[in-house]
Each structure stands twice: as structure tokens, then as C-alpha cells.
Structure 1
Amino acid sequence: MNSDSVRGVERRRLLGWGGLAVAGVAAAGVQLVDSRPAHAAPGPTDSHAIPPDTRPGGAYDRYVAKLAAEDKFSGVVLLSHRGRTVLSRSYGMADKEKGIRNHEGVAFNLSSAGKPFGAVAILQLAQRGKVRLSDTVGTYLTGFAKEISERVTLHHLLSGTSGLNTPEEDLQRIFQSREEVHEFYERWAREAKPVAAPGTPTDHAGAEVAIPALIVEAVTGTTYWDYVEEHIFGRCGMTGTAFYTRPQWLTDRHIAHSYMRQADGGRVDAVRHLDKGSPDPLQLGKNPARSFIDFPGDGGFATAPDLVRFAHALGDGTVLDRPYAELFMGAKIPLAPQGGGLREGLGTPADASFATYMMPVSLINGQWVNGRAGVNPGSFASWNIYPDTGWVGVILGNYDDVPFQEIIQREMQAIIGW
């Protein structure tokens, strides 16, 4: 297949989930935009494309309902096909103390599932000619070691091949303002150290989200949080998604509280118990609410319908021009099996997995799936885009002791059928 043919396949693949009408392009060459809302019910013309296991009462629906009945899941699951909601279920409480139930309009902590927004911000600047992906860190920032400032590029950072390592975060510190968080974060980013040559895959290095966020700020003259909220969330119509602060988390009825499982078997509300942390050895002592606001380049809070809106904004040119959307989601380098693929080592079966720009892609049963997951004490998030068939799957939860790997796999089984 020649390069033009490959580009054509990629273009058709992207258009398949971008909110365009099934006909794709009119005879005159004008694109037909599908204006159906993201939460609309599926129509009869879609019925042939809706696998039984994805429908209300299907295998996936029954599986999640069983988990919720056993108090093993609290949150929202949503399956959308070509802009129409096929399945939307909400379980458990967003705030047990106030008696507020989870629902579609509740925002959940994203943790690492928020990292793709940083890559999109950089690509927006690239398509405007403000940055180049081949530029090194030193083009925009000072204070970094020479082997970083002169050798590590934006492409290395976004593709997870910087060769950098970052010091451990201060998990016990309770931050009291945005300014305090930013000052610590900027200093922390500059403590990154090269542990391998640029171009070497790096295991989830914090510097790879920290440094691009600082570059966004240096180029735009605004904070990363404000830039993303205006130019990504605002442009996509993601009205329930933001980098909420701890005071907002405490008082806003539309933000799910994160319930951390404790060593004694009970669960505690992270935002109301800053003295408590996770007993999980992988996140020992961490409490995400201690940070006044999530670090730039990471985290944030989102609703399930908003993540569907973002997926379709990628496909229809709203948030990135199509060539840059293809660049964002396209495979860059192969990832080792079970070691950083679609699910960052969560064990999702795949024929092959590849790094992209912060939203890894896998071939699963002959289909491309772009996905990102995030886990924090008291919460987890997963969202998948199935560009070949027009599906988007979202799983958001405010428990941390859930079988999230299995939930993700059940979603994929329902949609792909493997």
C-alpha cells in the first residue's frame, strides 16, 4: 500500500467516529455533519451496528450492575455509538454524607486519564506555528540541565521516549493554593534527570507531562489550567469538566467524592479526611485531595458525556485540525506486551500496542482502540475511542477497590466481541 493509500485509510478511520453522517461526504464533496446530541438514544438505522452485549440488559450492563449490587463499583459507565448513547448507567453515591447520588452530570477525578489534554494543547500550538515538535526543551524553558535542554524534544516528551526520570512527589504535603501547587510543580519538573538517551521509552515519567505543561505556559502567557479549560474544554462544550480546586470538591454537588479503601476494610472520603491515605503499596500514603488543584498536565475532573464530546471534537476538527488529530492518535513506537500498552500495564489483551501522544493505541481483534486510564486513591477512570466503528466507552468510578482491569476488558468484549 503506498503512502497516499495509507493516509486515505487513516483519514477514513478518523472520520468514522468524528460525528459525521454515515454517508460521510455528499456528492458535491461537502461534509455532512451529524448534529445529534451525544446523549441521544440510538435510532433504528443504527440497530445493525449495535452488538447485543452493549445494549441495556446486555452482558456488559448485567456485569456492571452485579458489581454495583455487591458494592464493588460506584460510578458511571457510558457507551456511545456515532454520537448516540447506547448505554448509560450510574451507581452509588457521589457524596455519601450529603446523600447525593452519582449520575451522568457528576465529574470524577481523572488522574492519568487527564494527560491527553496536555498533548492536545501542545498540538494546538504546533498547528498555529507557535511550537515545533522537533524543538528541544531549551527552546522555551531555562533552568534545565544541558543534556535535557539541548537534547530532549517535544516529540520525545509527548511520545514517552524522553529517557527522563522524575523525583518522587511529596505525598504528605497539604497544599493551600494554586500558586503553592504551581511553585512546587515547576521546581519538581526541573529536578528531572536523564536516565537513558532521548528516544528511549520511559516508564510513566512525570517530567513527560510536567515539562510540556510548562511550555504551554511559556508560549501562551497563561496557566496550563486556564489554557486547557478555555481552548479544549470550552471549545468542545465540556461544561462539567474542569481542574476543580479542593474547596470546590468539598462544596460542589456535581463532583464525586473519592472513597479510599482502608486497611481495616472501611472506606473514607479522601477530601474530608486529609489525614488519611491509601494503604495500597503502589500508592502508599497518597491522598489526591491534599493537592489544592491537580498538577498541570495531569488529572482534572470530567463527566462521562464530556469525554464523549471530546472524542467527537477530535474527529470533526473542533479541537484539532484533522492532520493534527491523526498525529495525536497515530501509532509512534511499539510497546512491550503487558508493559505500558493501551492500559499502561493493566493487562488488557492486545495484538499490538503503540505509544502515541499520551493516548496509547492498540490493535485488538483487528480493530484500533485508543485509550487512557488513570487510578488514584478513591477513584479510577478509563475512556476508549474505537475509531473503526464509531464507539466511545467511558468508565468513571469513585471507589479504588474495584476490578477495573476486568471492567475495561468487559467493555471491549461487548463492543469488539473478542
Structure 2
Amino acid sequence: MDSDSADGVDRRRLLSRGGLAAAGMVAAGAPLVGARPAGAAAAPAGSGIPPATRPGGAYDRYVAKLAAEGRFSGVVLLSHRGRTVLSRSYGMADEERGIPNGENTAFSLSSAGKPFHAVAVLQLAQQGRLRLSDTVGTHLTGYAEEIAERVTLHHLLTGTSGLKTPDEDVRRVFRSREEVHEFYEQWARQATPEAPPGTPSSHSGAEVAIPAQIIEAVTGQTYWDYVQENIFQRCGMTGSGFYTRPQWLADQHVAHPYMALADGSHVDAVRHLDEGSPDPYVLGKNPGRAFIDAPGDGGFATAPDLVRFARALGDGTVLHRHYAELFTGPKIPLAPQGGGLAARRDVPADASFGAYQMPVGLVRGQWVWSRAGANPGVGANWSVYPDTGWIGVVLTNRDGAPLWEIAEQETRAVVGHD
């Protein structure tokens, strides 16, 4: 499973598997007024756009400085009510072939792609093909009785299943979709209860793998194919997909992950599967060893495609209004040490909650939704500010980017500060 992003200073929360991402969300009933796909006309001057968000503004200067210092390679994008306000690209998508990052470069999402499986579950719920109160055993066999009969989809989506999953073998190199699928299906069945359902679960990998298995059992499709057809295609996310390692190597529009080594150098992880991260919290891990991202996790997307997905959450493209409200509605309170906006230093949340594979937060009286993820050489964060119509995306393909701090500066620019 992919790692979640949290504090750029706290590497454990940034890279540990399944930690909550940097962000907050909208309460039930609040409409999404987000942007159309990036690439729309730039916002005109005098349109109520905060100066800090504009080209040459504080946020733009902050990211440019990071890039000039060699601390950021990737894309940042800000969109407001259907207009692109800021779009910047830095660094190389593929150094060996001399391909620069651009707005239409697809980046690995890591845990920033986890909300796709929550949306897929809600699509099936609104069709009456499953219920959020269904237990694991309603749809799947092979799980221990205490999991099959007590753990529900709601528990899994809110991170309150009480389950513990065995550590993965991060050094294994996968060779096919079938091998990946079989491994994670069996791995999830090794989950064990460590606390009663309803208890926060230390972000167990089973909470990602089991919903994906249920989606497959209900639809008869692989998780990857279902999301491609029912989310990516519906949203017009033409640059997004669950790319395989051969595609990662060959496709010029997919960013390669530049992973830091112990000596401070960086290596193209997908071209050097023998190398692993020296970070103690993901020791030895290399995201290129996964032939394809585990069902329920990850994927690749461009910045404009994430804007398209954010807009689709509110216009009925992927979910009916009440199910979209259910997806973004706060479910459980989060403490500052648990991640999310509550943990931010510069722009702390008034309140922070967990919801369906997304944290939720109020910042200075405004709702903010966001989801982030990280792996060696990979970082992603997308945020929606539904009260004011903003969408922000940060995508990076090089270790060393302070993803959490960039997200803080984005929120500071959009929401304002004292």
C-alpha cells in the first residue's frame, strides 16, 4: 500500500503507510462550487482574486524559491470558479530523456488516490447494490468470523475498523497485474482485529484492500477497470490511469520518481529497482517495484485531471448530491497529532475530522477538503475550498519537497491569514 503525506518536517507521518493526509473537508449540505478543468482562461485582474494566489504573488514566489533551491520538482496549480489562476511546472519528468514536467504530466498519487475507492463504494450504494452497513462477510468469503460479521464498509471507509494488517515485503518486485491482485487479496485476509470495530485502526492496509475487493465482487470488474470507466472516464480525466511499470518507463507524459539515497543523491526509482529508500520509516522501499498500484490505492493523475475530479464531486458526474454530501461530511473528530488540518502550524484548523478516506477541516470559518500521499520520490496533495470556489493541486516527483508546508502556504494564500 502507498504512504500518506503529513508533515514535511515529521517524516514518520509523511511516509508511514496509511497516515491521514494534509487537509480538511466540507460539511454535509455545503455545495461544491469548484473549478472547471485547468486550462480554462486565466482569471482576469480585479476579479476578487487574493493577491497571494496570483502569478508573482506570495504563493508563486514561495514555490519558485523552493524550485530554485532544488527542493521542488513538479507542478502546482490553483483554479478559481473555472479559471486557472496559477499554473507552474518545475524540474524534469524524465532526466534521462530530457523531458520536463508540465501541466499535463501525470504523477503518481500514492495515498492521494484513496478517495477513488470511497467514491466507487458510494456509487454502488446509490445504485442499491450494497449498503454502507454491510459487513465484510456480506460480500466476501475467507475472512475470520469476527471480521466478516462485525466490520462494516462504514468502518473501513472511516478508518475505524480496528484491524491490523501485517507489514508488507517492500523488497518484492511484482511482474504482472495478476500477481499484484493475488498478493493483496491474500494479504488483506491476514488482517486481525486489534480493537473493536469503531476504533481508529492506525490506518490499516486492509481498510483499502477490502473495499476494493467488495467493489470487484459486486461489479465483476477489477478495481482498476471499474475506476477507469466509472470515475476517470466520466470526469474526462484523460491523462489519468493505473499505469503499469512498463508504461511508467515508456510513456513520456508520466513523471519518474526521483528517490533520495543515503549519500544525498537522487536516483530514478523506476529504472533502479535494486535501490531502496534509506528513510527508516519506509526502509528499503521503492515504489517502482509495484507493477501496478494495489487495488484501492494510488493511480496517476495530472493536475488538470484532479481539478476535473474535484468539480465532478459537486456536479452529479460521479455521485448524486446527497451521496456527494455523504462522502464529504465529517464523521469523526481528529486530534492535532492525528494529521489533517488540525496538525498544521501556520494555518491551524478551527476543527478537523475524518470522513470517507479524506480528513475534513474548518479553517477560519471556511471548509477545506484535501487529500495527500507520499512514497519515496512521490508526493501529491489536492485541496478543494468549496465555500469560495478554489481548487489547489501540488504534485512532485522528487524527494525533499516539503509537501505539507507547500499545502500550508496554498491554504494561507487562498483563505488568507491574520
Give the TM-score, by structure 1 length. 0.91
* Alignment of 1:136 onto 2:153: no
Alpha-carbon distance between aligned partners in 1 of 2:249 and 2:170, rounded to the nearest angstrom: 20
CA contact (8 A) 1:110 1:301 kept: yes
Q: Residue type matched to 2:315 in 1?
A: D
Alpha-carbon distance between aligned partners in 1 of 2:48 and 2:337, rounded to the nearest angstrom: 30
CA contact (8 A) 1:54 1:87 kept: yes
* Alignment of 1:80 onto 2:79: yes
Alpha-carbon distance between aligned partners in 2 of 1:342 and 1:205, rounded to the nearest angstrom: 21
CA contact (8 A) 1:240 1:303 kept: yes
**Residue of structure 2 equivalent to 1:278:** 277
CA contact (8 A) 2:108 2:300 kept: yes
Q: Residue type matched to 1:189 in 2?
A: A
**Residue of structure 1 equivalent to 2:52:** 53
**Residue of structure 2 equivalent to 1:16:** 33
CA contact (8 A) 2:344 2:408 kept: no
Q: Which moved more, 1:361-370 or 1:390-399?
A: 361-370
Alignment of 1:390-401 (within 5 A): 390-401=389-400
Alpha-carbon distance between aligned partners in 2 of 1:378 and 1:269, rounded to the nearest angstrom: 8
Per-residue deviation, 1:47 = 3.5
Alpha-carbon distance between aligned partners in 2 of 1:112 and 1:342, rounded to the nearest angstrom: 16
Alignment of 1:175-324 (within 5 A): 175-324=174-323
Alignment of 1:310-389 (within 5 A): 310-342=309-341, 349-389=348-388
**Residue of structure 2 equivalent to 1:173:** 172
Residues 175 and 346 (structure 1 numbering): CA distance in 2 closer, same or farther, change over 3 Å?
farther
Residues 292 and 149 (structure 1 numbering): CA distance in 2 closer, same or farther, change over 3 Å?
same
CA contact (8 A) 1:203 1:340 kept: no
Q: Residue type matched to 1:252 in 2?
A: D
Alpha-carbon distance between aligned partners in 2 of 1:337 and 1:377, rounded to the nearest angstrom: 25
**Residue of structure 1 equivalent to 2:22:** none
Equivalent position SS for 1:315: coil
Alignment of 1:54-133 (within 5 A): 54-133=53-132
Equivalent position SS for 2:404: helix
Per-residue deviation, 1:415 = 0.3
Cα distance per residue 1:268-288 (max 9 Å; x no partner): 000000000111111111000
Q: Residue type matched to 2:362 in 1?
A: L
Alpha-carbon distance between aligned partners in 1 of 2:312 and 2:356, rounded to the nearest angstrom: 17
Structure 1 segments of 4 or more deviating over 3 A? 345-348
Per-residue deviation, 1:43 = 4.2
Q: Unpaired runs of 5+ in structure 2?
A: 1-26
Per-residue deviation, 1:338 = 2.6
Alpha-carbon distance between aligned partners in 1 of 2:77 and 2:287, rounded to the nearest angstrom: 25
CA contact (8 A) 1:277 1:285 kept: yes
Alpha-carbon distance between aligned partners in 2 of 1:164 and 1:85, rounded to the nearest angstrom: 42
Per-residue deviation, 1:42 = 3.5
Q: Unpaired runs of 5+ in structure 1?
A: 1-8, 20-35
CA contact (8 A) 1:337 1:352 kept: no
**Residue of structure 2 equivalent to 1:41:** 41
Equivalent position SS for 1:380: strand
Cα distance per residue 1:365-392 (max 9 Å; x no partner): 1111111110100010000111111111
Alpha-carbon distance between aligned partners in 2 of 1:54 and 1:267, rounded to the nearest angstrom: 31
Alpha-carbon distance between aligned partners in 1 of 2:121 and 2:222, rounded to the nearest angstrom: 13
CA contact (8 A) 1:259 1:267 kept: yes
Residues 70 and 292 (structure 1 numbering): CA distance in 2 closer, same or farther, change over 3 Å?
same
Per-residue deviation, 1:37 = 5.0
Q: Residue type matched to 1:14 in 2?
A: P
Equivalent position SS for 1:383: strand
Cα distance per residue 1:332-351 (max 9 Å; x no partner): 010111313348x6767222
CA contact (8 A) 1:83 1:312 kept: no
Equivalent position SS for 2:372: strand
Alpha-carbon distance between aligned partners in 1 of 2:33 and 2:355, rounded to the nearest angstrom: 19
Equivalent position SS for 1:89: strand
**Residue of structure 2 equivalent to 1:26:** none
Cα distance per residue 1:244-275 (max 9 Å; x no partner): 00000000000000000111110000000000
CA contact (8 A) 2:341 2:348 kept: no
**Residue of structure 2 equivalent to 1:146:** 145
Q: Which moved more, 1:350-359 or 1:86-95?
A: 350-359
Alpha-carbon distance between aligned partners in 2 of 1:15 and 1:153, rounded to the nearest angstrom: 28
Larger radius of gyration: 1
Asked which structure has the greater RCO (Cα within 8 Å, sep 6+), the reply is: 2
CA contact (8 A) 1:375 1:400 kept: no
Q: Residue type matched to 1:234 in 2?
A: Q
Alpha-carbon distance between aligned partners in 2 of 1:290 and 1:218, rounded to the nearest angstrom: 27
Give the TM-score, by structure 2 length. 0.91
Per-residue deviation, 1:38 = 3.2
Alpha-carbon distance between aligned partners in 2 of 1:266 and 1:275, rounded to the nearest angstrom: 15
CA contact (8 A) 2:37 2:308 kept: no
Q: Which moved more, 1:197-206 or 1:290-299?
A: 197-206
Equivalent position SS for 2:76: strand
Q: Residue type matched to 1:392 in 2?
A: I
**Residue of structure 1 equivalent to 2:15:** none
